[in-house]
Chain A
Amino acid sequence: MTQPILLTGAAGVLGTWLRPHLIARFGRLRSTDIAPIGPALANEEIVPCDLADRKAVDALVAGARAIVHLGGISREDTFDRILHANFHGTYNVYDSARCQRVDRIVFASSNHAIGFHPVGTVLDADAPQRPDSLYGVSKAFGEDLARYYVDKFGMDIACLRIGSALPEPNNIRALSTWLSYPDLFRLIAACIEAPHFGYAVLYGASDNDNLWWDNTKMSHIGYLPEDNAAAWRRRILPGADPRDPDDPATKFQGGMYCAPGYMNRRYVIVDPRDFAKPLAALRAKLDAARVVLRLDAIERGWSVDAPLAEDCAAGARSMRGVTFPGLRGTPAIARLAAERAPIAQNDGTAIDPAALRETYGVRARLLAPVLRRDALIGWIEAHAAAPRKWSDADVKAIGAAAKGVSEAMKNAV
């Protein structure tokens, strides 16, 4: 019987895309994630698991042919959460593989393990780690731990410093760092199929014209990318580069991850759960059906399109995980950005998008802006299930709450 490939982090964007391809190439797949993955495909078994639970990981690893370890937190977060998911989880996977003689691991490291190398430096497999975030530190740890397991126990572990794995490049930086999904699969398949190599560091990027990274030292692995971000160049960068060269997000290879808190000793990594209590207090005060906080922070994967934190009255439908693309473009938000003051909508006529009225029964809405350096980075919105005249006290309360979030975010981004 074919031994399965174990895929951790299978519910993530990359994991979801990889599953059918891994099955087609290697016969059988065992997929795991802490989040629900959905129905199993043919020749796939699905095992939910928290990688910080060693016993569960032992059961997961048993009998696997190789491990593709994408599991863990894939963006900047608080140290406690990263320690649990990325440090403890990765150790459990490696150590369990060692004990059960699973010899090959493909570890999804990240370009953020080397993010503080300046743009314009060409890096190869020997480039020292320069993490740009706690997330990057956790990936650098995964590489060092891999080196230890290779040196001591003779395993084969490939660390992929993945650039920007996206369906297509979406910004100027991605012209250099883009990794197409098919190339990602080529890279992983090459690492699984290569003869014994010990420790390997590979940059996960397509054959881009503007590439900063050099995989020559790892050519024995046999990764041959076929895609090139240059095809999108004209669309993304029609003229001169409009970016500020002194902006840390432009200057360093880690991009947006290098900017938050740059040279700001008071920088705080905000945990979205910290907002739960103030939102609950605000909802009680307003007697609203629902209070939602939306914030933009690309490096953390936060977008105003999906609620960052929410508090619902009993019986009100939750919006958690629901995305409304393009919320920023709606008239009310445009007004919020221009006026930078709370807006009261007493009846449903001006509430966009329509789904808010139809699916979530919003008949009155109160909005307050969250600002940083006078720019709108998000807002708090309170919903009511029936038309209602918001009082001055209501407006003051939501304004104060939004100011509190602004204060918290002042040193955060």
Chain B
Amino acid sequence: MAEKCLLVTGAAGKLGRWLRPRLAKRFGRLRSTDVAAFPAIDGDEETAVVDLADRDAVEKLVAGSWGVVHFGGISREHTFEALMESNFRGTYNVFDAARRHDVERIVFASSAHATGYTPVPQRIDGNAPHRPDTLYGVSKCFGENLARYHVDKFGMDIACLRIGWSIPAPFDDYGRQIWLSYPDLQRLVEACLTAPRFGFAVLYGASDLERGWWHNGHAPSIGYVPGDAAEAQALRSKVARSFGSVPEQRWQGGPFPAMGYRDRSYVHKYDPPPPQVLALIAQGQAEAAKPPARKAGAAKKAAGKSAQPPKKPVKKTAKTASKR
């Protein structure tokens, strides 16, 4: 019997690019897919360009895998019709195929925008009710509900990660609250893939669980311990920002709940990220593209459940901060 592989959807996205070499190092054989063409990593990886809305193609992808890291889909606000194909149908196809092929575990990239309308001073865990701040957020709520259905009815293990903002380094107070460092993202995904059976779990994907808006106290068995929390705290400005004065600061979703707030003529459409964010994404992708030995070492350390955070993002952050 051929060795089973780990399926990664959304492989060409910034998080997919960062995760793939590290997951391959930890778990061996990888099968990566995205709707856009992308280069393979060095190592045991097969790649496929597949639209997740294509049920038969997803069926073939899922067959022969032991787990799925489902990061595929539209990751920003968009029209409902576009979300319906990629996020609704795509996620259903992945979960349904996984069920029929007895795939043991799914890690689903939900989003903190599933609870984006939670008011800012609240501190919440994964039991917090859905309060989506965009249609994108609604699509993530759907993914969580579908996951719960698959767990309750068919006894699968699905972890939904309400990811805050995973970028190389945060650049403002809001970003520091919800920041998930890349190494912490890797720790989180690996924890979900290796934890003993948990059924259904919703976890917040953030580095600073001690002081931030979110914690995972309700799901200790997953064993996610962020390594970059101290950094996120240190990065926070000394003077606490008075949240609540403008719509962007009133809710945990930041700019998302503010888009079109109380504007009945608002049009749901693709909203490109601001240039500052695009620059950071490019930086992160460049970083993920080169496979230096040092990175692999860091990944290995994390794999060994080292509590020591890799030092590199500190420098990056400092650089970005000084640039501003």
For B83-97 the 0/1 string (1 means CB < 8 A from A) is 010001100100010
Interface presence of A223 (CB below 8 A) = no
Of the candidates A83, A95, A148, A267, the one having the most CB atoms from chain B within 10 angstroms of its own CB is A148
Q: Which chain B residue lies CB-closest to A258?
A: B153
Instruction: Assess whether B149 is interfacial by the CB under 8 Å rule.
Output: yes
Are B129 and A126 closer than 8 Å at their CB atoms? yes
Residues of A within 8 A of B264 (CB): 98-99, 101, 153
Which residues on the B side are within 8 Å of A134 (C-beta)? 149
Q: Name the distance in Å between B100's Cβ and chain A's nearest Cβ.
A: 6
CB under 8 Å from chain B, chain A span 102-143: 116, 126, 128-134, 136-137, 140-141
Establish whether residues B142 and A83, one from each chain, have CB atoms under 8 Å apart when the complex forms.
no
- B28 proximal to A (CB < 8 A): no
Does the CB pair A153–B133 fall under 8 Å? no
> Which residues on B sit within 8 Å (CB–CB) of A203?
none
Which of A144, A154, A263 touches B155 (beta carbons < 8 Å)? A263
Across the interface, which residues of B come within 8 angstroms of A178, CB to CB?
A: none
Contacts A83-B88, A83-B89 given; does A148 touch B129 at CB 8 Å? no
Task: Tell me whether A264 and B260 are in contact (CB under 8 A).
Answer: no
Separation of A264 and B154 alpha carbons in the complex (Å): 6
Q: Which residues of A contact B201 (CB under 8 A)?
A: none
Instruction: Give the shortest distance, in Å, between B97 (CB) and chain A (any CB).
Output: 11
Q: Is the CB of B84 within 8 A of A152?
A: no
Could you tell me if B153 and A263 are in contact, using CB atoms closer than 8 angstroms? yes
The answer to whether A144 and B149 touch (CB under 8 A), given A87-B84, A95-B80, is no
Which residues of A are found within 8 Å of B155, using beta-carbon distances? 263, 265
Chain A neighbourhood of B99, CB < 8 A: 265, 267
Contact of A151 among B127, B131, B135 (CB under 8 A): B131
CB-CB contacts below 8 Å: B138-159 with A: 138, 141-142, 145-146, 148-149, 152-156
By the criterion CB–CB under 8 Å, are A154 and B262 in contact?
A: yes
User: Is B132 part of the contact surface with A, judged by Cβ < 8 Å?
Assistant: yes
Residue in contact with B152 in the complex, picked from A83, A132, A141, A266, CB distance below 8 Å: A132
Q: Mark A82-96, 1 if CB is under 8 A from B, else 0.
A: 010001100100010
A197 to B81, CA, bound (A): 29
Chain B residues whose C-beta falls within 8 Å of the C-beta of A87 in the assembled complex: 84, 88
Is residue A361 within 8 Å, beta carbon to beta carbon, of the partner chain?
A: no
Please provide the chain A residues from 134 to 168 with a CB less than 8 Å away from any CB of chain B in the complex. 134, 136-137, 140-141, 144-145, 147-148, 151-154
Residue B276 interfacial (CB < 8 Å): no
Q: How far is the CA of A141 from the CA of B91 in the complex (A)?
A: 14
Chain B residue with the shortest CB-CB distance to A92: B80
Is A79 located at the chain interface by the 8 A CB criterion? yes
B237 touches A (CB below 8 Å): no
Q: Which residues of A contact B89 (CB under 8 A)?
A: 79, 83
- Say whether A141 contacts B141, CB under 8 Å: yes
Is B10's CB within 8 Å of the partner chain A? Answer: no
Chain A contacts of B32 at CB under 8 A? none
B57 to chain A, nearest CB (A): 16
Whether A99 and B257, one on each chain, are in contact in the complex, defined by CB atoms closer than 8 angstroms, is no
Task: Check A261 against B153 for contact (C-beta < 8 Å).
Answer: yes
The reply to whether A132 and B142 contact each other, CB–CB distance below 8 Å, is no
Residues of A within 8 A of B127 (CB): 128
- In the complex, whether A17 has a CB less than 8 A from a CB of chain B is no
Chain B residues whose C-beta falls within 8 Å of the C-beta of A267 in the assembled complex: 99, 154
Are B265 and A265 in contact, CB atoms less than 8 angstroms apart?
Answer: no
**Residue B130 at the A interface, CB < 8 A?**
yes
Are the C-beta atoms of A129 and B80 separated by less than 8 Å? Answer: no
Q: Which of A128, A131, A147, A152 has the most CB of B within 10 A?
A: A152
User: Does A324 sit within 8 A of B, measured CB to CB?
Assistant: no
- Listed A/B pairs (26) with beta-carbon separation below 8 Å: A79-B92, A79-B96, A83-B88, A83-B89, A91-B80, A116-B149, A116-B153, A129-B145, A129-B148, A130-B149, A133-B149, A137-B145, A141-B138, A141-B145, A144-B138, A144-B141, A145-B138, A147-B130, A148-B134, A152-B117, A153-B262, A153-B266, A264-B154, A265-B155, A265-B156, A266-B100
15 more CB-based (< 8 A) A-B contacts, given A79-B92, A144-B132, A145-B132:
A116-B148, A116-B153, A129-B145, A129-B148, A131-B145, A137-B145, A140-B145, A141-B142, A144-B130, A147-B131, A152-B133, A261-B154, A263-B153, A263-B155, A265-B155
Which B positions have Cβ atoms within 8 angstroms of A?
A: 80-81, 84, 88-89, 92, 96, 99-100, 102, 117, 127, 129-135, 137-138, 141-142, 145-146, 148-149, 152-156, 257, 260-266, 268
